[in-house]
A and B are shown apart, each in its own frame.
Chain A
Amino acid sequence: MLKTRKQIFIEQSREKFSDVEHRRKINHSLLQSDIAFRKGIPQFSDLQLAKKTANHIKRTTIENLDTYLLQFEKQFTQNGGKVIWAATANEALDAVGRICKEVNARLVVKSKSMVTEEIHLNPFLSSKGIEVVETDLGEYIQQLAGEPPYHLVAPSMHKSKEEVADLFHEKLGAPEGLAPEALTQFARKILREKYVQADIGITGVNFLLADIGGVALTENEGNGRLSTSFPKVHIAVTGIEKILPSVRDLALFWPLLATHGSGQQITVYNSIFTGPRKAGEKDGPERMYVILLDNGRTRLLADPKARESLYCIRCGACLNVCPVFRNIGGHTYNSTYGGPVGSVITPHIKGMKEYGHLSQASSLCGACTEVCPVGIPLHQLLLHNRQLAVKHAARTEKFAWKLWAMACSHRRVLNLAGGHTKNRVATLLFANAWGKNRKLPGFAPESFNQLWKKQR
């Protein structure tokens, strides 16, 4: 019988539980991001106010999403760019495919973009005989390894420097045992060639700017700039939720994203693209496209509660603080977006029945909600998803909760049996699920309730 996604999730979680080396690498990596984050925070004189303001801006933007998207389209078109609306992943892929055909593209360079992971752009282009090269170093490592990114902003955080050196040796013929600096130089040399040969540069988008019809891109390696300056065509692919009303909003959102994403005060390279090269300008692409992707986002928009997840700026901070992510790692989710925000949006985007378990696989500790720079109540949205998923619950579970409600409605039911009997029942019911690694707690011979009645 075919395994369900939930069964696969639990199996892979169990594998990670016993993988001591994985635990060591993730703990090390997350400790570094925590140290950086704590150093970055003092740049805000009032972080809570900054977060509240950001929440307010995203709330009003998402509540008026149609207006801002149309304003963006109008401005960007006036700037000489072309906006393409894609309702589904396939529509977005078709659009990219058409552009590639028009310019007879053989080589595409890409800067880091989760949305192109979401639509599986790389395998699509490869199937058309087009070479795709990831230019963000972490993404380049993942591409060489044939793995999807492990984390929204740190795609190869689960690989040690030794593993990367082995990978470069095996796949690229680099000398054995190179140090991180030498590995970076090695990759740079290869990638520089690719930028100048590429026909098309494809990027993601950090923020769409409605008032100026611009695309803001944030990165640390300069690869985003190179990917957009050399090729004759620039395609930016983005989810429709990435919009901000004004270029002025970046004064708040740039530092918020930088600090929560990587602990920096501001990311190294921040570019704003407002369209293709104009007459008299020296550089920039001849054509620029922005693909606005829905792919299930309007389903989130239609749900007044789940809608709040569209405020997300993909900083990855909720993954960094999530104890579940820390223990199962980024790949066990088997979805493009991992961690708390992924567990909130994936069941809506890809189906509650198949992916609802992601919303269940949380201790609801609330660390994600606490850290979120735009104030998304992530753990409450997980609860919201659980309420929506009740209709898919197994009959036995539904029956168990009915029984529970009945027992809790009558105090005398809880006092019926003694501790000894309760222990036997609990062992029967829970010994297996509670697991082989824990001993069950024991019922007291008499409950507090019974003892109180006797003594008082």
Chain B
Amino acid sequence: MHVELFIPCFVDQLFPQTAFNMVQILERAGCEVSYNTQQTCCGQPAYNAGFMEECAVVAGKFIKEFSGENYVVVPGGSCTGFVRNYYSKMFEGTDLEKQVTMKTPLFYEFTSFLTEILGIEDTGATLVGKAVYHDACGALRECGIKAAPRILLNKVRGLELIETEDAERCCGFGGTFSVKYEPVSMAMGEQKVLNAIKAGAQYIISTDLSCLMHLDGYIRHHQLLIQTLHIADVLVS
């Protein structure tokens, strides 16, 4: 199967290795992977700040960079949810409407692509230890992803997955919110990390690196004995 990649801007800049790990898993699964190197950002940061014009410029460029009827696989639910759920309204009545209607339903967050489209539940990975899975809001509420990452993680050898009461609670990243309202963002992040430690976890695993880099910043600053891991980094091991 031929798949296209969408590598969100911050993954591109900060976490290229995770993106390559995702590519490796896709290729192992027999996918032929292509990537349009003109790609930048889906426009979500501006949209969330209310800057619609700036968003439309970037999103308009973005959607034209995908072609054909291939699936587009994304290492993260936030950008996937934004493209799937907000583009159609944004480009309603414009020249891009047709392309948007055809293409956006083909955007898939990585774990849901593995389980739902490829039918893969076991990637053969090993990770010894206890982990909590953090339901990233974009994955959970915008894409409806709840089971896929858990199915995959439950097959990882040596890994014990702990369910916490706050699994579905936001970590407090929220894009520009994390800098505009730092004390609120930080309080949310702190509770997330402390709850995971209290549950006995060594790892916090999620589909979204935006949540994880925020939590990781707190963990590193306080030198805590817990580690954040993107699910692609776990599944490739």
Contacts and interface: CB of A to CB of B under 8 A. Distances in A.
A binds B: yes
Interface in A222-275: none
Interface residues of A, number: 63
A122 interface: no
Interface stretch (B36-44, B113-121, B150-158, B197-205): B36-44
Task: Identify which of A390, A393, A430, A453 gathers the most chain B CB atoms within 10 Å of its CB.
Answer: A390
25 contacts: A10-B183, A17-B184, A326-B188, A361-B180, A364-B177, A367-B169, A388-B50, A389-B50, A390-B51, A390-B52, A401-B51, A404-B45, A404-B46, A405-B55, A405-B57, A411-B39, A411-B40, A433-B180, A434-B179, A438-B218, A439-B217, A441-B217, A444-B13, A448-B20, A449-B39
Given A405-B54, A405-B57, 8 more contacts: A10-B182, A362-B177, A363-B173, A363-B174, A364-B137, A367-B141, A411-B37, A434-B178
B88 to A, nearest CB: 14
Contacts of A448: 7, 11-13, 16, 19-20
In order of increasing CB-CB distance, the 4 nearest A-B pairs are A363-B174, A386-B50, A438-B217, A365-B170
B91 interface: no
Interface in B68-119: none
Measured as residues with beta carbon below 8 angstroms from the partner, the interface class of chain B is 35 or more
Contacts of A146: none
A385 B177 CA distance: 15
A31 B191 CA distance: 14
Interface of B: 7, 9, 11-17, 19-20, 35, 37-41, 43, 45-55, 57-58, 61, 137, 141-142, 165, 168-170, 172-175, 177-191, 213-214, 216-218, 220-222
Given A365-B141, A389-B50, A446 B184 contact: no
B32 to A, nearest CB: 12
A413 to B, nearest CB: 9
Contacts of A446: 16
Contacts of A346: none
Nearest to B195: A27
A323 interface: yes
Interface string A173-216: 00000000000000000000000000000000000000000000
Interface string A409-444: 111001000000010000000100111011111111
Interface in A325-375: 326-328, 360-367, 369-370
A301 B141 CA distance: 28
A430 B186 contact: no
A323 B172 contact: yes
Given A365-B170, A449-B12, A383 B48 contact: yes
Task: Identify which of A398, A402, A430 gathers the most chain B CB atoms within 10 Å of its CB.
Answer: A402
B131 to A, nearest CB: 21
Nearest to A367: B170
Contacts of A326: 188, 191
Interface of A: 10, 13-14, 16-17, 23, 31, 323-324, 326-328, 360-367, 369-370, 383, 385-390, 393, 397-398, 401-402, 404-405, 407-411, 414, 422, 430, 433-435, 437-444, 446-449, 451-453, 456
A361 B38 CA distance: 33
A363 B12 contact: no
A437 B218 contact: yes
Contacts of B52: 387, 390
Contacts of B185: 363
A281 B40 CA distance: 74
Nearest to A403: B54
A409 B14 contact: no
A17 B14 contact: no
Contacts of A447: 12-13, 16
Nearest to B47: A383
A430 B185 CA distance: 15
A27 to B, nearest CB: 8
B50 A13 contact: no
Contacts of B170: 323, 363, 365, 367
A401 B15 CA distance: 23
Task: Identify which of B38, B57, B174, B185 gathers the most chain A CB atoms within 10 Å of its CB.
Answer: B185
Contact of A434 (B16, B20, B182): B182
Contacts of B49: 386, 390, 397, 401
B50 A366 contact: no
Contact of B186 (A323, A438, A441): A438
A361 B58 contact: no
A362 B137 CA distance: 12
A328 B7 CA distance: 34
Given A366-B137, A449-B39, A404 B16 contact: no
A453 B180 contact: no
Contacts of B17: 444
A453 B7 CA distance: 14
A17 B189 CA distance: 11
A422 B54 contact: no
Contacts of B216: 439, 441
Contact of B50 (A17, A387, A404): A387
A447 B8 CA distance: 11
B6 to A, nearest CB: 11
Given A448-B20, A449-B37, A453-B37, A370 B186 contact: no
A10 B181 contact: yes
Task: Identify which of B14, B17, B55 gathers the most chain A CB atoms within 10 Å of its CB.
Answer: B14
Contacts of A389: 50
Nearest to B54: A405
Contact of A433 (B14, B173, B182, B189): B182
B38 A411 contact: yes
Task: Identify which of A370, A435, A444 gathers the most chain B CB atoms within 10 Å of its CB.
Answer: A435
Contacts of B168: 367
B73 to A, nearest CB: 14
B191 A409 contact: no
B68 to A, nearest CB: 19
Given A414-B13, A444-B17, A386 B48 contact: yes
B46 A405 contact: yes
A435 B186 CA distance: 8
